[in-house]
């Protein structure tokens, strides 16, 4: 079973800057990664990052675009809507989690942030 120390060592090995929020919860932030929350919840490691605020007026075109991105371009994780924001979330089983899986999840999220934001920002207010 992967421990919190293992998870912290993964972040250090990747050169990520992070703060420990509480036992089993971290926030990653630096030049390339923007406030990815990593939280251990029982046997699952959860990742969450806010992409942008939802527009004031409901946009079916935005929701369709998010669903299309989920289906075609999101390898680890998916887009969702939470508390008035578009978020990217991912979950990994902790039981056999290794460094490569952790890195792939972070890389997938950062890639989505950098490549999808230019497309999605047009839906903002």
The residue ranges of DSSP E strands in the chain, in sequence order, are 18-22, 25-28, 36-41, 44-53, 78-82, 85-93
Q: What are the tens digits of pLDDT across the range 90-100?
A: 999 999 999 99
Q: What is the pLDDT of residue 58?
A: 85
97 vs 31, which has greater pLDDT?
A: 97
Can you tell me the mean pLDDT for 66-85?
95
Nearest CA-CA partner of 65 in 76, 54, 47: 54
Per domain, the residue ranges of the chain are 4-123
CATH class of 4-123: alpha beta
Phi, psi torsion values for 71, nearest 5 degrees: -75, -30
3-class SS string, 20-49 = EEECCEEEECCCCCCCEEEEEECCEEEEEE
Instruction: Give the model's confidence band at 32: pLDDT under 50 very low, under 70 low, under 90 confident, else very high.
Output: low
Ramachandran quadrant class, 119 (left: phi over 0; alpha: psi -120 to 50; beta: rest): alpha
12 has pLDDT over 90: yes
Q: Higher confidence at residue 49 or residue 34?
A: 49
Residue 33 pLDDT greater than 70, yes or no: no
């Amino acid at each position: 079973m992967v421990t919190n120390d293992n998870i912290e060592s993964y972040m250090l090995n990747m050169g990520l800057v992070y703060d420990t929020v509480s036992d089993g919860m971290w926030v990653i932030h630096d030049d390339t990664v923007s406030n990815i929350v990593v939280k251990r919840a029982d046997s699952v490691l959860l990742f969450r990052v806010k992409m942008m605020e939802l527009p004031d007026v409901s946009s079916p075109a935005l929701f369709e675009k998010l669903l299309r991105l989920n289906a075609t371009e999101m390898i680890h994780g998916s887009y969702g809507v939470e508390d008035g924001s578009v978020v990217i979330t991912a979950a990994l089983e902790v039981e056999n989690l290794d460094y490569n899986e952790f890195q792939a999840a972070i890389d997938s999220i950062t890639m989505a942030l950098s490549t999808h934001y230019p497309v999605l920002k047009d839906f903002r207010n």
